[in-house]
Homo-oligomer: A and B are copies of this chain.
Amino acid sequence: MESIMSGLLAGSASDIEQRRCELCTVRPLAVCGSVAMDRSACLAAIARGAQLAAGEPLFHEGDPAVEVFTVTSGMLKLSKLLPDGRRQVTGFLMAGDYLGLAFAERYICSAEAVTPVRLCRFARSAFLKLLDQFPALEKALLGRAATELAAAQQQMLLLGRKSAHERIASFVLQLAERQATKEGQWIDVPMTRTDIADYLGLTIETVSRTLTSLRKAGLITVPDPHHLQIVQRARLVAEAGG
């Protein structure tokens, strides 16, 4: 249970290994941040572990939101669909992220595993009770929501006003940032070109072409479709256009 707390309260990506939920996995837990709590009360929240294979859906847009989740490893994508099948990926979630905003009655988007995923699942009702017991958790959640809102606005700026080159450059930089990559290190790209396209509001062909163009211009290298490396960070930042 502490891990949920720490997952929500801790921000840095460096201690991901220590965030695994002890109710869900076997891994013992590290210190639990600043929240004082009654562990047995927490245990009452009937958390359960869960795993998803790559490509497996967790829930669909419009399903009743009976559970909330925290990701302990792997990557998920959130998406929305238009009736004719056009898709918009609204975000990628990684270890430590929270899923299924506690106050909507139904999920507002679909969630699907990009890589194999491990998570903690909680009955929503139990989670809501937990919020009452631990005000600090509620504050953390509010902070999380604010962060997500800021990210959403940034993405609106990208989708509404940036060119394909700028979108791809921004995306690469964002990937690097979330992985705390140092200059020259490999960056993991777990998602497919289709996922990237649906995230950036482009087609897969444009994603592919633009990556090729950045590669040919010497800003990045792309050893295989699921790895890349930033070669000229400054020029890539310029290409990202703010």
Residues of A within 8 A of B (CB): 78, 80, 82-84, 86-88, 90, 101-104, 108-109, 132, 135, 138-139, 141-143, 145-146, 148-150, 152-157, 159-162, 198, 200-201, 241-242
Max chain B CB contacts within 10 Å: which of A101, A104, A146, A157? A157
Expressed in whole angstroms, the minimum distance between the Cβ of A134 and any Cβ of chain B is 11
- CB atoms of B201 and A160 under 8 A apart: yes
CB < 8 Å: which of B132, B157, B201 contacts A88?
B157
- The answer on a CB contact under 8 Å between B84 and A150 is no
Minimum-distance CB pairs A-B, first 3: A160-B201, A152-B152, A159-B159
* One of B86, B138, B153 near A80 (C-beta < 8 A): B153
A152 touches B156 (CB 8 A): yes
User: Is there an interface contact between B242 and A84, defined as CB atoms closer than 8 Å?
Assistant: yes
In contact, A156 and B90 (Cβ under 8 angstroms): yes
Contact partner of A104 (CB less than 8 A), chosen from B84, B132, B150, is B150
